[in-house]
Structure 1
Amino acid sequence: MRAVLVRGGSGPAESLYIGEAPKPQITSTQVLVQVKAFGLNRMDIMQREGGYPVPPGASQILGVEFSGTISEVGSDVVEWKVGDHVLGLAGGGAYAEYIAVPSTHVIRKPDNLTWIEAASVPEAFLTAYQALVLIGHVRKNDDILIHAGASGVGIAAIQLARYFGANTVTVTTSKQEKIDWLLGMSNGPTHAVNYKTEDFAERVKTITAGKGVNVVIDFVGQSHFNKNINALAMDGRMTMLALLSGSLVEKVNLGPLLYKRLHIEGSTLRSRSAAYQADLIQQFSSNVFGNISGEEGKGSIKTYIHKVYSWDQIQDAHKEMEANQNIGKIMVEIT
């Protein structure tokens, strides 16, 4: 089969090319999916550069989310049949014509989502759902702070926070263009802050009348850490999903963790067990997925696409993500 490969095993975007790779062989509990579209995620860039080891047993081919048609089912699989339209989550291998995944890791694609829209859902929305619900224990009337607000996960988290009844949802980003776009979303944030020109901790204190936020979803790490601690309310919860500004915080006052009874937890969805991921997918499918539509659809939660590339433009797609100019998901269709 054809797949996007990395010349030399790691390198810049120019090292990506379409080549030949072995077609996956499925086990008795897996399905084989002929991929129609896949989404880009920042971990793909890190893996391409050699800085993100794949989980044990996962494909070395890039890509963790996809949509497509089931072309083969394992002997123990009863819930799926050849020809079913699905979207799914994988440990790797989505940048290819075929991908093998556990039967528990695909969701039936509804007719109201295109192949592109369907493939944009799994990683962003499952990560956001895990961060807010399973770890952040979001509750009705909570005040929420979400960083990297214009990213795929950020946009998903904003809408999920509103869906679960948040009182306020404050997002941070670095560009006025992104702030304007986010505030124009139909189910978007209640407030937005440019973290380069304003202290987001002080801003959320003002927004919440001095209380602080109940939940923080952070992707940034080092540069935001102390302000995040300051921004959190009593019994606040913070989920850390990435460390874009670095992992080393030189000076931290541990006092607030103690007297505010804070809960801080890090998580990477890709490294979770297959059983954990299957349970997460089941919960998300039952509680949220039916409310998702494309940007022009009628769903109370929408998936927003920044740009769609053909897979022979994969180098350009990676460069677009590296430029950090996107609002929403960068998607690729296999042609």
Structure 2
Amino acid sequence: MRAVVAAGTGGPEVLSVGEVDAPRAGAGEVVIEVVATAVNRADTLQRQGFYPPPPGATDTIGLECSGRIAELGDGVTGWSVGDEVCALLAGGGYAARVAVPVGQVMPVPGGVSLVEAACLPEVAATVWSNVFMTAHLQKGERFLVHGGAGGIGTMAIQLATARGAEVFTTAGSPEKLELCRSLGAAHAIDYHDEDFVEVLQDAGGADVILDNMGAKYLGRNVTALATAGRLVIIGMQGGAKGELDINALLRKRASVTATSLRARPVPEKAAICCGVVENVWPLVASGAIRPIVETTMPLEDVARAHQLMEDGSHSGKIVLTL
């Protein structure tokens, strides 16, 4: 089958489309004939050799996809060959077919095309699991997400707004700030000219912060928290090692949690996907949340897609079609 292959680790130029063995459905799995997949920052890290797949997962890049079920493994019920679905993957999305545990397979939300659905599983699962299952964001609380114009950010702004939070976000250009406001952000902060810490402190502090920067923002995030605030770290774009002021946490009775999604056990991922289908998909179907797609390009343009991701000028998601 067609799939993206890597000629070692390195820049986007190591990626091309080649031929690999097609997967078969194991017990409790389905095989999806992929229509589209989406590019995530974790994909670029895997390409560089910094984010290997978990044990037992395919080496093929790709953490989400949409398509049609082509094969059912033993013990799979509730689905039929030909059903249109999207899925959260441990890997393998950049290919014509992918095998996935049935608990990570989700229906395509109403009102969304099959291609658009490819960009929803990873961001929806990340935001739902971290902001709501882990940090327990409540209606009326203040929520800060960094990088509001990115894939995670655009989903986080919309979902938090739809559930009644007051949303703060950071972005780096007038166009991205305007996008954030259009998605529901009450406070869009230009990180070139404004200090998000000051903005949040003036407002009373953030009850929940979703952060992909890691070390670079650690101290400032803690300062920006409200009493009993919850900081959830999901990335290390700003470094892996930082200094944590435990005294500041104690005074605020605050918490810092670091999580990842890809390496979680299959039952945990299945529980997250169930939560997404129950709580996020109805908001997508109603139009309260919409997929934000920067561009769509064929799988053969994978190197260009990775370069666009790393340039950082895009908003929303980059989708690859097969």
Q: Which runs of 5+ in 1 are unaligned?
A: none
Q: Identify the residue that residue 139 of structure 1 maps to in structure 2.
A: 138
Q: Which residue of 1 aligns with 2:299?
A: 311
Match of 1:169 among 167, 170, 184: 167
The offset of 1:75, in angstroms, is 2.2
Of 304, 317, 323, which aligns to 2:311? 323
Equivalent residue for 1:65? 64
User: Cα gap change, 1:111/1:289 in structure 2, threshold over 3 Å: closer, same or farther?
Assistant: closer
Once the two structures are superposed, the pairs formed by residues 102-251 of structure 1 within 5 Å of their partners are 102-110=101-109, 112-166=111-165, 168-185=166-183, 188-206=184-202, 208=203, 211-249=204-242, 251=243
Per the TM alignment, residue 196 of structure 1 is displaced from its structure 2 partner at its CA by 2.6
Q: Which structure would you say has the larger RCO, counting Cα contacts within 8 Å and 6 or more residues apart?
A: 2
Q: Give how far 1:176 is off.
A: 2.3
Counterpart code for 2:226 = A
Aligned to 2:320: 332
Cα distance in 2 for residues equivalent to 1:217 and 1:330:
21
Report how many residues are paired: 322
Q: Residue 83 of structure 1 aligns with which residue?
A: 82
Stretches (4+) displaced over 4 A: none
Q: Whole-Å Cα distance in 2 between the matches of residues 28 and 143 of structure 1?
A: 44
Match of 2:290, SS state, is strand
Report the Cα distance in structure 2 between the residues aligned to 1:183 and 1:310, rounded to whole angstroms. Answer: 30
Give the deviation of 1:106 after TM superposition: 0.7
Within the alignment, does 1:52 sit opposite 2:51 as a pair? yes
Q: CA deviation at 1:71?
A: 0.7
The CA distance in 1 between the partners of 2:13 and 2:173, in whole Å, is 28
Distance in structure 2 (CA, Å) of the matches to 1:177 and 1:109: 30
Distance 2:254 2:162 in 1: 24
User: Unaligned regions of 5+ residues in structure 2, if any?
Assistant: none
Q: 2:73 maps to what in 1?
A: 74
Corresponding residue for residue 260 of structure 1: 252
Is 1:18 the equivalent of 2:10? Answer: no
Amino acid at match of 1:169: V
| Inter-partner Cα distance in structure 2 for 1:41 and 1:150 | 14
Partner of 1:7: 7
Distance in 2 of aligned mates of 1:285 and 1:305: 20
Tell me, in whole angstroms, the C-alpha distance in 2 between the residues paired with 1:235 and 1:202. Answer: 18
**TM-score of the two chains, using structure 1 as the length reference:** 0.94
Shift of 1:28: 2.0
2:145–2:210 CA contact under 8 A, matched in 1: yes
Q: In structure 1, what is the equivalent of residue 279 of structure 2?
A: 287
Cα shift readout 1:265-290 (whole Å, capped 9, x = no counterpart)? 01111011100000010111112212
Structure 1 residues 63 and 165: CA distance shift in structure 2, 3 A: same
User: Normalising to structure 2: TM-score of the pair?
Assistant: 0.97
Whole-Å separation in 1 of the counterparts to 2:140 and 2:115: 33
- Paired residue type of 1:223: K
Q: Contact (CA 8 Å) 2:293, 2:316: kept in 1 or not?
A: yes
Shift in Å at residue 112 of structure 1?
2.0
The Cα shift of 1:111 comes to 5.2
Amino acid at match of 1:5: V
Structure 2 distance, partners of 1:57, 1:252, is 35
C-alpha distance in 1, partners of 2:141/2:56?
39
Once superposed, what is the RMSD of the aligned Cα atoms? 1.2
